[in-house]
Structure 1
Amino acid sequence: MWSGVECDEMTGHVIGLDLGSSFLYGSIDSNSTLFDLLHLQRLDLWDNHFNYSQIPTAINRLSMLTYLDLSFSSFIGQIPSELSQLSKLSNLDLSTNPLQLKKPNLESLISNFTRLERLCLNHVDISSTVPKSLANFSFLTCLQLRECKLKGEFPVDIFQLPDLQILSVRFNKDLSGRLPPVLNQNNSLKSLWLAGTGFSGEIPFEKLASLSALDASNCNFSGVIPSNLIRKLNQLIYLDLSENNFVGEIPSSLGNLTQLTMLSLSSNYFSGPIPLSLSKLINLETLYLYNNDLRDIVDFDMFVGLKNLTFLDLLHNYNLSVIVVNPGINETFPQFKELGLSNCNLRNFPVFLRHQKRMETLFLDDNHIGGPIPEWLFNISKETLSLLSLTENSLIGELSHRVCNFSSLNFLDISDNKLVGKLPHCLGNLSKSILVLKLRSNYFSGNIPNFTEGNQLKIIDLGYNLFKGKLSKSLSNCKMLVHLNVESNKLSDVFPYWLGILPELEILVLRANELHGVIGESIKIFYFPKLRIIDMSYNNFSGKLPLKYIQNWKAMTTTNIEDFGYMSSTFKNTTNDGSSWSFYSQATIAIKGINMFYERIQNIIVVINLSNNKFDGEISQVVGNLKRLYSLDLSCNRLSGDIPSSLGNLAELESLDLSRNELSGEIPSELAQLYFLQYFNVSYNHLSGPIPQQNQLAKFERSSYEGNLGLCGIPLPDLCENSKPLEPPLLSSEENSSSPLQFGWKVVAIGYGCGFLIGLFIGKVVMEKNPNWFVIMFNIRS
């Protein structure tokens, strides 16, 4: 009579325990009386919390088990080999636990499971190839190996299993394979999930007539979608072919797949128009066509009849023009949660947006929308809108305080417009929900607003505006801030040392303002623990270089490089699909002598730019401790003294600019150790002595050294006195500078220039100093 307990009616033995989602907590050890239930056939413990304990080895005592589900239950470690002794298992699910399957490996674990029908090991660290022996499991109906670090070639014979219905190997980036031209004859396959793998070739659509779900996104598939074959897939509910290499036009026959609820063809090379037949897909909930080469004029009214359409993205089809030709039916449009109309050549705000009540993300960026932002826009979906992007349009006027109506706004980007005036004060209160605030490249003026405590802001970009006054100290309330950019404004303040208290700050751009003063030791110095890009160039800072700060920028000293990527902030939609958006840190950075706007900043870039200020004094040897530096620019200051030899320790350095200072002494030979150096400039200083000829220092252009009257050596025209001349091109490498033959030709050359008598005289002198010369010259043997 106990809930979740099943007994054999004849013997009374316990044969089943169904305790899934029962709030069980704690570990199970091998002494548990659970393992005394020797007649147990079904054990279901999914969605509990076993406190990151290991699967007990006593599991082999339950030899009658046919069904075992331990998924989502916080087991950890190596799957015990004893599990492989449960030879009667037909269903095994260990998914979504931090488990490993190496000793035993996958092949040895399943070797005794001859009756296996369902195998689910999603998120288990397998780190091996898929065993070919799986093709012998003729009863197998479901195989799920999602995100298991699989590698190698997927055995093509597995597709021939007669009863296989579900196959998922998603998100195994090192797993390759091809779909066979002929699948199993029973047409049993219902769901095929290959996303995020290395599968390639063409998809045999004509052989997939039984499929209800096909996810082949982010693979290497190619070819065209045949219009005469797509009609056969009339069972499809889910079709995702995004992020591949498909070409050609989108076939109009897709409109016959009326069962579709999800269709994604994004990030391919599709061209031509959007087929009008897609308006027949009355069950469609998601339509993603972004990042293609679609063209023609799209009447947006084609989507009116798709009442279930919730997610629609057409963005980044640069030759696509979207128009709304019948505003009288706006109230009948679908209620979108996500709408992407970027780069769609819009010239006005679509008026049907007035009636949207549950929108969460709205992309209208990179269009030709002009005029002021209509007031009604700030009244749509006030409680649900989390993302609003209006960047790169021609918007004018002021930003209304009604923008604060959006109580759930996470992301606001209205950059690259022509907006003016002061920012509404309420914007600082909005920061309790907002993560990304991007207002760059407008004409906003006045003071930067105050930000309240407890905000979640990660990126603030106010660059290229007309803000003035001091930096608001309320920015220290932004404890989650990763990126602050206020470049190219009219801010007048001293160095904001108090920003050093921010524990996550990685990028600080103060470039091109009116900041000034000595960066001295404040009463309490905060050391910017994660800072790796700082740009204070084109200001009026003076005094010594801020040594106390430089020597404590710990993130610039560590040599531990994480996986390559881009610096970004990510937030998840509140929608059921679990999608997320990543927004990248952007800034103008002077690297290698060029001011470049980086739309995405690589996380390996570590930059210090203090150029175009009034810093004086010496460059400390401490700078050589910043071993992760990618670019160092101290140009256009009043720095003096020697170039510190410790700069040779900056092994990752690619750009070094010390030009237009008052540096003296020689260029340290240690700089020849900078093997990755691609840009080097020490021009217009007071340097002297030879340019180190090792490595590439002699290969930089002459302009890198000009303006130093005491410098000599290649590439400058003034060669140093003790430098070795280049060998004549006609001489072999064996004829070095000490060769008597080479010296003899000099005598002959003088004879041609000065006359025979002078030649004899010089020859006589040479003979007296080197009597063996004549013997060697004329090959006379003793």
Structure 2
Amino acid sequence: MLTRFLALFSLYYLIFASFSLVQPLCLDDESFALLQFKGSFIINQSASDDPSAYPKVSSWKLESDDCCSWDGVECDKDTGHVISLDLSSSCLYGSINSSSSLFRLVNLQRLNLSDNNFNDSRIPSGVRQLSKLAHLDLSFSCFSGQIPLEILQLSKLVYLDLSRNRLKLQNPDLRSLVEKLTNMKKLFLSDVNISSALPNSFSNLTSLTSLFLTNCHLHGEFPTGIFRLPNLEDLRVRFNPDLTGYQPEFNRSSPLKLLKLTGTSFYGKLPDSIGNLKLLHDLEVGDCNFSGPLPPSLGNLTQLANLRLGENGFHGSVPSSIYRLVNLEVSTNFLLFYLEPIYEFWILVRTSCKDHFLSHHLPSQLYSVSNNTLTGEIPLMICNLSSLVSLDLSYNNLSGLLPKCLGTFSDSLTILNLRHNKFHGNIPQTCKKGSKLKMIDFSENQLQGSIPRSLVNCTMLETLVLGNNQINGGFPFWLGVLHELRVLILRYNELQGAIGKPKSNLEFPNLHILDLSNNHITDKLPFEYFQIWKAMHIIDVDGPMYMQATTGFELPSYEWSDQYSYSMTFTNKGREMPYEKILYSLIAIDLSSNKFEGEIPEVMQNLKGIRFLNLSHNLLTGSIPSSLGKLTVLESLDLSQNKLSGEIPPQLTQLTFLAFFNVSNNHLTGPIPHGKQFDTFPNKSFDGNPGLCGIPLSMKCGHFEGSLPPPSTFEEINHDSNLQFDFSWKVIVDWLNIKEEEG
């Protein structure tokens, strides 16, 4: 028996040794840290701008032992430590601070959190704990405030991208960063408020290949030593109007491929040695203070595809060598006409225009100065722009009355966005017959009065956002004739009275999103409308990705077009969230915080495509209809703060996409349904219902405890390597016992 036991033990040891050669599994504490990090965010498609964005963390499951196999996670093959985390464009929304479990992953070498929405939180000082980081990308993720001093402790960094946020680099300043992070190869700080000169110590970063400092409020003289860095391929310092400098002589060994100086105060001549930059693909020096003739050596830049030279003091004829640039795709200000601009056309998007709004000549086609600190009233000269196609003044501090002439643009205007300002008074008659307006957003102002009936002339209107004002009157039922209307947001106003009944079966046929929350609307829920809102009755997977409008215009020899994404603020899963883009497939109704009464109508089961439904903070009575269980794509259901009674229908457990459920503060009774999503809802989802019992509440339901999950099957056990070995030992011991009884 002993011999047999030793033989089996030897066999088992060999099996164990062979398994040890396999890559080790993710460590438990790091797996748990990742799951904690996942749990600190809401998944929201609008938190990422990349059309291909998807929530990588959805693949992270507690029952999956090996986090090294999770999407975006990479581990060291020898130790099992997590060394790389790529959650770029992962639809993450929420805040991040120094207590985040992320900073327990101390072996990280690469961290990419770009293209998410971290809700204007600061970059946490806890980043210093990731001392092994060589690659850090936090770009375009809604961070704000001062870049922490602790980032200078990441001495191994060779790649740093903090661009496209609302960050400042002043303490530490740019000089400190350059002098501490001496191994840097790629440095991207575009749109970071630096407000300083460039230190000469930049010339010591001999490994630097890319330097992006666009729109950083730089000033002073640009160090010419940067142009001579031996490995620099891409240099961009555009849109720093107080940054001066000149072009030095270039040698033939320069690796420069992109040189972008547009919108600076660089001066002097372009040196003839610029022809030595044989690898140059992009050259942008428009809107600077260059002067003199164009050097004939430009013709030597045979790789050049983008050439921008306009709005300078160049003179003389265009060198004939220019015609050798056969790869040229973009050339501004029409070089064949001695570089004199034919059309005055400015597009100002997300720049620091400030008082320039009142002093500069306005363009005649498109004007966008959103996200600035503009003050004062809209100048009346804007009424002279007869061909305006898009007007975006959102997120400023503009005040006064809205110009009555806004209605005169409607035969050319497609986008009118005045969101988040301080405009007051009545909304002018914005639309006339033949209007091309597709999007109107006057939300987050102090507008009063009623919604103008002239809006019925906006027959192409797709989005109307008037929330967060002081608008009164009744529900604008007459907007139902706008058959293209997809988004109607009237939240946080002073609307009153009943919604009423539709006049025909053709009203609001394409409505996807309705938000009437926080008004004074009374009477019963509008079940007659629920019956005819056809777009809400289907699950549309064939439409475009986002709700947006194509804007553009044509001029002789010039054509321009762009996609303008609609946006909104909407309460999702109990939180108010900004949606910079709106998924076309999103169907949502928010009627919360009004005075609706009566029962929830059974016809709501017709709204098959609805994903968010909020009826909270009303006076609703009766039971929760079991037919709501037919809304198979529902993700968020809020019925809290009403007078609902009866039991929670067990049919709701079939809503497998339901991530948020709240029935708190009603008069519900009986057991809480058990299974699927219902096993994930916290206590607060059911608080304020003394008659409810069962998990997750402490109140038991007599003999009803809900069914336990089924026992693990043999196959499930074998997915766990540790349990597999325990199981193998049990088989060996049982076999030995049998043999002993036989012997």
Query: Deviation per CA, 1:561-616, whole angstroms, max 9, x where unpaired?
Result: 12561111012342546442111111101011100011111112111000000000
After superposition, the Cα gap between the structure-2 partners of 1:525 and 1:706, relative to the gap in structure 1 and judged at 3 Å, is: same
Instruction: Tell me which amino acid in the other structure corresponds to 2:343.
Output: R
Equivalent positions of 1:624-773 (< 5 A) are 624-724=605-705
- 1:499 is paired with a residue of what secondary structure? helix
Query: Deviation per CA, 1:17-36, whole angstroms, max 9, x where unpaired?
Result: xxxxxxxxxxxxxxxxxxxx
How many angstroms does 1:732 deviate by?
10
- 2:399 is paired with a residue of what secondary structure? strand
Instruction: Tell me which amino acid in the other structure corresponds to 1:394.
Output: T
In structure 1, the partner of 2:442 is 462
User: What RMSD over aligned residues (CA atoms) do the two structures have, in Å?
Assistant: 4.4
After superposition, the Cα gap between the structure-2 partners of 1:686 and 1:398, relative to the gap in structure 1 and judged at 3 Å, is: same
2:481 is the alignment partner of 1:496: no
Equivalent positions of 1:607-618 (< 5 A) are 607-618=588-599
CA contact 1:641–1:663 (8 Å) conserved in 2: yes
CA contact 1:256–1:280 (8 Å) conserved in 2: no
After superposition, the Cα gap between the structure-2 partners of 1:497 and 1:567, relative to the gap in structure 1 and judged at 3 Å, is: same
Query: Deviation per CA, 1:168-192, whole angstroms, max 9, x where unpaired?
Result: xxxxxxxxxxxxxxxxxxxxxxxxx
In structure 2, the partner of 1:483 is 463
TM-score (norm 1): 0.50
- 2:381 is paired with a residue of what secondary structure? helix
Query: Deviation per CA, 1:32-59, whole angstroms, max 9, x where unpaired?
Result: xxxxxxxxxxxxxxxxxxxxxxxxxxxx
CA contact 1:682–1:705 (8 Å) conserved in 2: yes
Q: Quick one: distance in 2 between partners of 1:328 and 1:563?
A: 46
CA contact 1:337–1:361 (8 Å) conserved in 2: no
Matched residues, number: 434
- 2:532 is paired with a residue of what secondary structure? coil
How many angstroms does 1:249 deviate by?
2.5
In structure 2, the partner of 1:391 is 370
Instruction: Tell me which amino acid in the other structure corresponds to 1:389.
Output: S
CA contact 1:253–1:277 (8 Å) conserved in 2: no
Q: Quick one: distance in 1 between partners of 2:265 and 2:404?
A: 44
2:423 is the alignment partner of 1:436: no
- 1:377 is paired with a residue of what secondary structure? coil
Q: Quick one: distance in 2 between partners of 1:649 and 1:493?
A: 35
CA contact 1:535–1:610 (8 Å) conserved in 2: yes
In structure 2, the partner of 1:520 is 500
How many angstroms does 1:401 deviate by?
2.1
2:348 is the alignment partner of 1:363: yes
- 1:426 is paired with a residue of what secondary structure? helix
- 2:288 is paired with a residue of what secondary structure? helix
Instruction: Tell me which amino acid in the other structure corresponds to 1:435.
Output: T
In structure 2, the partner of 1:38 is none
After superposition, the Cα gap between the structure-2 partners of 1:399 and 1:305, relative to the gap in structure 1 and judged at 3 Å, is: farther
Q: Quick one: distance in 2 between partners of 1:570 and 1:463?
A: 22
After superposition, the Cα gap between the structure-2 partners of 1:693 and 1:328, relative to the gap in structure 1 and judged at 3 Å, is: closer
- 2:347 is paired with a residue of what secondary structure? strand
2:427 is the alignment partner of 1:448: yes
- 1:363 is paired with a residue of what secondary structure? coil
360, 364, 373: which is aligned to 2:357? Answer: 373
TM-score (norm 2): 0.52
Q: Quick one: distance in 2 between partners of 1:404 and 1:337?
A: 32
After superposition, the Cα gap between the structure-2 partners of 1:329 and 1:587, relative to the gap in structure 1 and judged at 3 Å, is: same
CA contact 2:265–2:288 (8 Å) conserved in 1: no
How many angstroms does 1:395 deviate by?
1.2
CA contact 2:602–2:627 (8 Å) conserved in 1: yes
In structure 2, the partner of 1:537 is 517
2:389 is the alignment partner of 1:410: yes
How many angstroms does 1:393 deviate by?
1.4
Instruction: Tell me which amino acid in the other structure corresponds to 1:410.
Output: V
Query: Deviation per CA, 1:716-766, whole angstroms, max 9, x where unpaired?
Result: 11121132488899x9999xxxxxxxxxxxxxxxxxxxxxxxxxxxxxxxx
Equivalent positions of 1:39-438 (< 5 A) are 249-250=234-235, 300-302=287-289, 358-367=343-352, 369-371=353-355, 373-374=357-358, 376-378=360-362, 381=363, 385-438=364-417
User: Which has the higher Rg, Structure 1 or Structure 2?
Assistant: 1
Query: Deviation per CA, 1:434-492, whole angstroms, max 9, x where unpaired?
Result: 00000011111111111211110001000011110000000110000000000101101
- 1:403 is paired with a residue of what secondary structure? helix
Q: Quick one: distance in 1 between partners of 2:282 and 2:643?
A: 58
578, 582, 605: which is aligned to 2:586? Answer: 605
537, 553, 557: which is aligned to 1:557? Answer: 537
CA contact 1:373–1:396 (8 Å) conserved in 2: no
- 1:648 is paired with a residue of what secondary structure? helix
After superposition, the Cα gap between the structure-2 partners of 1:733 and 1:264, relative to the gap in structure 1 and judged at 3 Å, is: closer
CA contact 2:665–2:689 (8 Å) conserved in 1: yes
2:553 is the alignment partner of 1:569: no
After superposition, the Cα gap between the structure-2 partners of 1:472 and 1:563, relative to the gap in structure 1 and judged at 3 Å, is: closer
Q: Quick one: distance in 2 between partners of 1:728 and 1:362?
A: 61
Instruction: Tell me which amino acid in the other structure corresponds to 2:445.
Output: N
504, 507, 512: which is aligned to 2:487? Answer: 507
| Greater helix proportion | 2
| Runs of 5+ consecutive residues of structure 1 not aligned to the other structure | 1-222, 228-245, 258-262, 309-323, 340-354, 735-782
Q: Quick one: distance in 2 between partners of 1:338 and 1:714?
A: 68
- 1:407 is paired with a residue of what secondary structure? coil
CA contact 2:475–2:499 (8 Å) conserved in 1: yes
Q: Quick one: distance in 2 between partners of 1:671 and 1:265?
A: 59
After superposition, the Cα gap between the structure-2 partners of 1:363 and 1:687, relative to the gap in structure 1 and judged at 3 Å, is: same
